[in-house]
Amino acid sequence: MVTYIEENMAGSIAGFNVLPIRLNRKSQSGHVLYYKEHNIRGDSASLPPDRTIFVLNVPPYCNKDCFVRLFSDCGRVDSVYLQEKPTSELLPKSTTKYFSHENISQGFKVAYVVFKSPSAVEKAMNRKHSEPYILISDDQPALEAGYKKWCTEYKSERPNLKDLQKEIDEFMQTYDQKVSEDIQKAKEEEGTPDDEGWITVTRKGSKKQKPVARKEHIEKQLKAKEKKKREDKELVNFYTFQVRETKREHIAELRRKFEEDKHRIAQLRAARKFKPY
């Protein structure tokens, strides 16, 4: 039974070839993949334009083995990359098992199929798909779908603690060795003049300098800066009670200054030598 989608989506749409697929022969619903030549500016080491096709609308149950079976009649498939979104250059392969930077979406995604020869891309673009391709048949391994797929992925995400600890220890050992080599290299380069006579001075390996004692005027300046920062962050006179408190503080400050002025005038009068009265 061919669905309405499969009957009306064969051919090409907006430069994309349409490849109808079905999960198995008993499946009543179909799906379509859209693919075209991967055209980018410049050369890409991982995705050569003359040997790569770009595939859209890839369902979650479609893995790399599916694409090998889908396009093996066009030519030998060198590699298949599944990505969350289109890209011009793939990320380098991760050397770690548990801290991989590859982010493969669990939903729909895109794929890049790299062939061994450029002629395979031309065959794939000229191929006509009259019937949907069956992903699962008697002579092909079954694909995990539904709850079985999610259970397998859940188990694979739970690492072995011994292997994880071993990988962490190896990473830290490599990192510590690199840091020590950098420090040793900086020490060797320090004090050695270059071709122009300049000497490189680094802070690595140097003794820590004793902190300089703060003077009184420096302490006042720092406190004034900190107070200004706090005042800038605070909402001044935003609420009614803040306005009242500001007025009250202003009046108290005026009274304090008035009393200081009275006391200063009294001292000046007491210190006068000429007293006419």
Is the pLDDT score of 194 beyond 70?
no
Across the chain, mean pLDDT equals 78
CB of 113 closer than 8 Å to CB of 77 = yes
CA atoms within 13 A on the CB side of 124: 35
pLDDT digits (tens, 9 = 90+) for 41-73: 666 677 888 889 999 999 888 888 888 888 888
Give the number of residues written for the chain: 277
Residue 262 has a pLDDT of 94
Q: How is residue 72 written in tokens? A: 């093996």
Residue 251 has a pLDDT of 94
Residue 5 has a pLDDT of 46
Q: Between these two residues, 209 and 19, which has the higher pLDDT value?
A: 19
Residue 261 has a pLDDT of 94
Looking up tokens 């108290």 gives: 252
Residue 113, H or E segment: strand 109-115
CA dist., res. 192 & res. 36, Å (int): 58
Q: Which residues contact 107 (CB under 8 A, 6 or more apart)?
A: 60
Is the pLDDT score of 112 beyond 80?
yes
Is the pLDDT score of 205 beyond 60?
no
State the pTM of this model: 0.49
Task: Give the mean model confidence (pLDDT) for residues 223-248.
Answer: 80
Q: Of the ranges 57-61, 197-201, 213-217, which is most confident?
A: 57-61
CB of 32 closer than 8 Å to CB of 57 = yes
Report the Cα 136 to chain-centroid distance in Å. Answer: 36
3-state secondary structure at position 123: helix
Is the pLDDT score of 11 beyond 70?
no
Is the pLDDT score of 202 beyond 70?
no
Q: Of the ranges 77-91, 160-174, 246-260, which is most confident?
A: 246-260
Of 38, 44, 121, the residue nearest 76 (C-alpha): 121
